Each structure stands twice: as structure tokens, then as C-alpha cells.
Chains A and B, each alone.
Chain A
């Protein structure tokens, strides 16, 4: 399978300075948009979409338990069994509008509890490490953008594996340094032209600067936005542009709540909620053509550890959002929290493979068939695409 060159990435100084957010975008010849948000560090599903109706929850989680719906700072009810973390108010509104679908007891392709290995495999979409990410392989299967240029725009200092392909990628950021002038850049490009390592990257960098500049102007919201909110809003603006990119990957870290989880999670969820709302808002009417998947490498232990946190676990929650998503319900084959139901006597058991969820979304969104879906997720023939995730 030839992967076409349309992953191109840009860097934004502000995010680098704050360190924990990045965005990458790629083009495709379709009006359908697809956004993946990777939460690095392992989000605790049981504190985010709380199964408050599960009789065993209180015994495990007494010290981390959020109040029930209706009480002060209580979880936001979703159908009498599930409660959304009270910081996720905007997501809850989307749930109410039928455009947000939590997927619980879900896990990626691996049972590894190593952050780095699990993140890599989640982004490869395979049980073994690959050099390319599944979003990159999706890009290769979609029709080319008109003119098949490689001027896709993207933000973020490092390229997530999710969007990494066989070709070098480039990056862009608004600059404020003294301008050495066109002559200088011309000589610089000529000097690097024949270099296999730096030549293509330099050329792409220069092209990006040439075409961009105005793109981020106005992307920053009213002062004081968290970096994730700024980048999510920028992503929406890029994706909404009729000639803009169609695929986006956002990364946000800070979920590794080994200690003081209640406090940490609250402040990690706040920008996530605001950012996803900003993404929807800036997409405008294109929201109807957009599917967003929010996922993390694994969940956390059912038991609370010795430092009021949780350690690396297995299954957790993911979110699917978008104008065409059949939301307003929680998708879960709930294994329960009884001691004999826990995975390896410590974790929420995985009952839904995220690859099946994403395959179902890609099948419905892009009309991709089994062969294409197996190219995107190798050796996933036995994992059926989840049905009925999108409104017909």
C-alpha cells in the first residue's frame, strides 16, 4: 500500500513552552473530518465515567468516590447507572444532545502496563510495534486532496506515532525572531537540498512558513485559555476550512494519577472539557461531518494505592463525539467490579476492543470495507466493526 505524502506537522511555541499539548493535521480529499485525542498517561475510567450503580464500586473506591448525581459536586447522571465527572459539564451537554458516546471497559491492542509500549501500540493499532500509525494509514487510503499537495498544516513539536508514516514530516510555528531575509533562506535551502536527512525537512519547513502565518491568527481564545483549548480551537478552524486538512491528532498528557488523584484529575479534565467544546464551536457546520475519538493507553487499578492514587491498569473509558454520532447512551459490555470479575485481580476487565469501535466508525464515516479496515488495523479480522455508532 502506497502511503501518500500528506502528513505534515507544525510546531507552536506556546505549546512547547507549556509542554503537554500538541496537535498534528493531515489532508484528504473528502468532506468528512476525523479527530483523535490521545490522553497520555492513562486516564482513570472509573473516576471519569463513574459506574455509580455498580454495587461494588464503593468498597474499592471509598476514598476517591465522587458524590452521586444531584448532590453538591456530584457526578452528572447518564441514565441511572453511569455518572460523568462533574468537570465534564460541556461533554455532558453533548451527551444530552445525543452527540457524545462514552465507551466503557474498553482497551487497546495490548495488555501491557507500560505507558510507552501501550501508547505505541494504541497508535500503531496493532499487537506489535510498527513504524507507522493507523491514522497515517487511514490517510493513505482516503482519496487525495485536490491537487495532492503536501501543504497540510499541523501543530506540535513532536510527531505522534499515530500520524507517523514512512516519510519525514515537517512543522510550523509563528515566529518572532529577527528575519534573516529571503536570500538567506534560499541559500540555506540550496545548501541542504542534496542532504537526505535534512534536505526534505528544510524544504518542507520553508514551504510551510510561506503558506501559513495567518492560519493561527485569531485561534487563541480570550486570554488565559489552557494550551489544549487554544490548540483544539485552532484544530477546529483548520478542519472547518473548505480547503483545509481533514485528519487531526491532539495529544494531552497529565493523566498518570499515581497520587492525589481526585485533585489532579479535576484539573486535567477541566481543559479537556473546554477544549472539546472549543473544537465543536470552531468547526461550526463542519461538526456534522466530524467524528472525534478520545482515547488513552490503558486504565488504572480498581483499588486505590497507598498515596490516594491508582496504578497502571487495563480497561478504561473512551469517548466518541460528533454531529453524526449516535450518542446519548453509554456503550459497554459491563464486566462489573466484583472481585472475581477483575482482570488479573486488579483491573477493570477489558470487554470492548477499541479497534472494533474505530473500525465501526471508519466503516460508517468513510464507507471503508473489510480490506481497508484490515490495512488500517493489521490482523484485526476477528475484531468486528462495532455497528450502529453513527446515525444513518
Chain B
């Protein structure tokens, strides 16, 4: 077993699965995962159409409840959301393509749609990841951006579905612009604030996107361009003129997707996520250059990140609470099949401050240690590890050591081996400084 293999599993994957030996050729192991199609997409999964059905059911239920026809408030959406979440977490913990799953989590965080937004979005969030993120993780950034911006979940989450051009027919009747999605698309999804756009650009881009909405009751359901809501005339955004109509939005997104500032931002985020909290500017430049020369090919870019020499140095990144919970489940080779087990995983993430799919704000979860490095939070990881290590089917610490020994400090090894009980030994290994890193 070589140390590069152990690093690859922690840094680019979701942590070792039980006592499964690490891959003998880590570079090939990573590349293969991106060459193979996404296994999760080969199976049936949540889609927008069924989410709209559930949402409609909830509306009907609410109507009956308010008229007193039914004594209980409906919870179709809540049930659907919990079932989706259970399936998603189950798939992540059991995945044989952990690098791909990490990329899905990374991009879903980059393009955050949070279940905190409430009912409609709650029903759609799992379908969103499956429809807008997953298919493009090894595709092009342009296509991912386009899929995200066309997806009802995003259009509802950041209020574009109701944004109306002030001079459009609907606008003249008294409705108006909502800048939320346009602003976050510039600030978070593409070029970023440092690119120097102004409030005028935000307003203008919001006008470009007027009419980009969603239909959830009438067929065809899903994305719809509402001409009557669209602001007439060409629009100037960051010095570029985009024509009136749906095509203007398509052209603007294409232009933003390939903007050098977008590439720099994505490169910074990728290297920060996978390599170091404070990445070497040269590494960021190298990844930005790959994005530039490949026109935003995310497969080539992801592989380039794995080939950075810095990506094979000792692990420095602190696992986020979500990473940590997934890693413990995988180390214990314990697939949470029962709702109560999945609920435990979810509530643990919650108590550590990072509930799955519930980012507080559109900028998603922080990716660096400063957001998570608090004493109580680390102690809670240890307490939970202790609880999990008490499971009757928990493995022996030595069997896990046998597949990760090269990265363990002497102090960790001697502490684990000097523990007072089998359970304590496993809990200490799971709560060790090395296990908290990726």
C-alpha cells in the first residue's frame, strides 16, 4: 500500500470504505471514475415532473385543509423531500465513484439551491441535482450553467420565475423586475464581484433574464420563456450587447460561462476545495489555463486538479461536517438503510452545523477550516464517533489501520492502541487528526 493511494481516497474521494484496500494505481482509479458514466444516473431517480405532481397534491391538500374538509395539513412535499434525501445520502455513502460524487457535491454547492427556501423548492431540490448538475460534472461548464439557469428549482429559489420586464406587456400592468438570480449568477455562479461589474450591469442582466420562468401545472411543465414578461430591446451587460428575446439570455450565459474571470473563480474554488485552504496562485493559474484552453471542459479540468503536485502532499484540509459524517459511515461500511439511520446521519450533520442540502445562503457552505474549526464542533464529532463505534457490527480499529497506516502519526497509533476498550480505540481513530482531514 502506498501513501498516494491513501491520499487519493481521502482527498478526492469520500474516505475509505471498511477495510477495502486502497486502489493500487490511484491516478488510474481517479481517471476511470470520470471515464465511466455516472452510476447514479443509470438508476431511476427523482425528476421535476414527479416533484410538480407532489407539489400540486400539496396545494390540493392545503385547499382541503383550509376549507375544513381535512383535519390535517398535508405533508406530501415533506415526505418526498425526506425520501429523496434518504436515497441521495444512501447513494453517496455506498458509491463506488466517490470522486464523481465529490464533484457532484462541489458543483451543487457552487450552484446552491437550498431546501431552506421552502415547499416548492423542497420538492425539486433532488431533481435539480440529478437533472442540472450530475449530467454535466464531466461535461462542459457552459452546459452546466445553462442547465442550472433553465431549471425550475433555481428559477424559483432565486425568484427569477416572477421577474418581469418593466416595459413588457405584463410589466406595464404593474409587475416588475426581481434582480436576485441575475445578481447571484454574476457574483456566485460566474465572474464574481472582483470582475468589476456595476449595479447597472446587474439590472441589465436581470432584464436579459426576464421571461425565464417555470410552468408547474400546465403542460409542457418545466422551463418556459414568457415573451409577455420579457423586457423589450437589446441590453448592455458588462460592455456586451445582448439581443431581445430568449436568445439574448442564452448568448449572455454563454459569454459569462467562458469569461476569463469565471475561469479564474472556478479554478480558485476547485483548488481550494481539493488541495489547500490557501492555494498556491500558480496552481490556480494552471487550472484556469486548462479551463481556458479546453473551453471549460470539466473532465479535463478535474483531472488536471488531480495532477497538481500539491494535491499529493500531506493532507491539510479539514473535512467539513458533511464530509466527516460520510467518511465515518464509509469507514464503518455501514449503509443507512433504515429511515432512522439516515435521520441520525442528517441530524448529526445538523448538530455539526452543515445539514445536507440546506445551505443558509445562495453562496453555499464555506470550504475552508475557519468555518468549521471550533472546539465544541470537533468534540461533537468525537462524541458521535464514540456513539457509532458502539454499534455491535462496528469493525476493529486494527482492520482500518491496516488500510490507512501510512498517514497515521505515531502519536495517533499509540493512542489508539493504548485505548481502554475496543470501542474507545475505534472512536479515537475516527476522531483522530488524520481522520478529520481530507
Chain A interface residues toward B at CB < 8 A:
9-11, 13, 16-17, 19-20, 112-117, 157-159, 164, 168-173, 175, 177-178, 180, 183-185, 187-188, 190-192, 194-195, 197-199, 201-209, 253, 258-259, 303-307, 309, 311-312, 344, 346
Interface 1/0 per residue, B356-371 and A, CB below 8 Å: 0010110100100111
Of the candidates A198, A305, A312, which one forms a contact with B177 in the assembled complex, judged by CB atoms under 8 Å apart? A305
Q: Known contacts A117-B193, A202-B378, A205-B374; decide if A197 and B316 are in contact (CB<8 Å).
A: yes
Task: For B180, list chain A residues within 8 Å (CB).
Answer: 258, 311
By the criterion CB–CB under 8 Å, are B432 and A172 in contact?
no
Chain B interface residues toward A at CB < 8 A:
116, 159, 162-164, 166, 171, 175-180, 183, 187, 193, 199, 202, 316, 318, 350-351, 353, 358, 360-361, 363, 366, 369-371, 373-380, 382-384, 386-387, 390, 409, 411-412, 415, 418-420, 424, 427-428, 431-433, 436
Task: For A158, list chain B residues within 8 Å (CB).
Answer: 353, 366, 371, 374
Which partner residue on chain B sits nearest A22 by CB separation?
Answer: B353
By the criterion CB–CB under 8 Å, are B386 and A184 in contact?
yes
By the criterion CB–CB under 8 Å, are B363 and A116 in contact?
yes
Give A197 to B373 CA distance when docked, in angstroms. Answer: 8
Which partner residue on chain A sits nearest B206 by CB separation?
Answer: A311
By the criterion CB–CB under 8 Å, are B436 and A198 in contact?
yes
Q: Known contacts A197-B369, A201-B378; decide if A192 and B433 are in contact (CB<8 Å).
A: yes
Give A206 to B376 CA distance when docked, in angstroms. Answer: 8
By the criterion CB–CB under 8 Å, are B411 and A191 in contact?
yes
Give A106 to B299 CA distance when docked, in angstroms. Answer: 48
By the criterion CB–CB under 8 Å, are A205 and B375 in contact?
yes
By the criterion CB–CB under 8 Å, are A259 and B183 in contact?
no
Pick the 9 closest A-B CB pairs, nearest first. Answer: A205-B375, A306-B176, A170-B375, A171-B374, A171-B376, A157-B353, A306-B175, A204-B375, A195-B433
By the criterion CB–CB under 8 Å, are A171 and B375 in contact?
yes
By the criterion CB–CB under 8 Å, are B376 and A307 in contact?
no
Q: Known contacts A19-B116, A191-B412; decide if A172 and B376 are in contact (CB<8 Å).
A: yes
- Taking chain A's interface residues, is the majority helix, strand, or loop, or is none over half, making it mixed? loop
Of the candidates B177, B178, B350, B363, which one forms a contact with A259 in the assembled complex, judged by CB atoms under 8 Å apart? B178
By the criterion CB–CB under 8 Å, are B350 and A191 in contact?
no
By the criterion CB–CB under 8 Å, are B374 and A114 in contact?
no
B369 → chain A, closest Cβ, in Å? Answer: 6
Which partner residue on chain A sits nearest B171 by CB separation?
Answer: A306
Task: For B164, list chain A residues within 8 Å (CB).
Answer: 306
B370 → chain A, closest Cβ, in Å? Answer: 8
Give A19 to B370 CA distance when docked, in angstroms. Answer: 18
Give A303 to B371 CA distance when docked, in angstroms. Answer: 36
By the criterion CB–CB under 8 Å, are A188 and B377 in contact?
no
Task: For B177, list chain A residues within 8 Å (CB).
Answer: 305-306, 311
Q: Known contacts A170-B374, A197-B318, A205-B375; decide if A305 and B178 are in contact (CB<8 Å).
A: yes
Could you write out 11 A-B pairs with CB less than 8 Å apart?
A: A112-B193, A113-B183, A157-B374, A184-B427, A194-B409, A198-B318, A198-B378, A259-B178, A306-B175, A307-B163, A311-B180
By the criterion CB–CB under 8 Å, are B387 and A177 in contact?
yes
Q: Known contacts A16-B353, A113-B202, A205-B376; decide if A180 and B176 are in contact (CB<8 Å).
A: no
Give A171 to B415 CA distance when docked, in angstroms. Answer: 25
Q: Known contacts A116-B363, A258-B159; decide if A16 and B373 are in contact (CB<8 Å).
A: no
Give A168 to B183 CA distance when docked, in angstroms. Answer: 33
Give A304 to B412 CA distance when docked, in angstroms. Answer: 60
By the criterion CB–CB under 8 Å, are A206 and B379 in contact?
yes
Task: For A19, list chain B residues within 8 Å (CB).
Answer: 116, 358, 360
Which partner residue on chain B sits nearest A203 by CB separation?
Answer: B375
By the criterion CB–CB under 8 Å, are A201 and B178 in contact?
no
Give A176 to B164 CA distance when docked, in angstroms. Answer: 50
By the criterion CB–CB under 8 Å, are A206 and B375 in contact?
yes
Q: Known contacts A113-B183, A116-B363, A259-B178; decide if A202 and B379 are in contact (CB<8 Å).
A: yes
B402 → chain A, closest Cβ, in Å? Answer: 19
Give A282 to B373 CA distance when docked, in angstroms. Answer: 31
Q: Known contacts A117-B193, A258-B178; decide if A312 and B374 are in contact (CB<8 Å).
A: no
By the criterion CB–CB under 8 Å, are A184 and B424 in contact?
yes
Which partner residue on chain B sits nearest A8 by CB separation?
Answer: B375
By the criterion CB–CB under 8 Å, are B376 and A188 in contact?
no
Give A183 to B358 CA distance when docked, in angstroms. Answer: 36
Which partner residue on chain B sits nearest A344 by CB separation?
Answer: B199
Q: Known contacts A158-B371, A183-B420, A201-B378; decide if A175 and B383 are in contact (CB<8 Å).
A: yes
Which partner residue on chain B sits nearest A202 by CB separation?
Answer: B378
By the criterion CB–CB under 8 Å, are A177 and B384 in contact?
yes
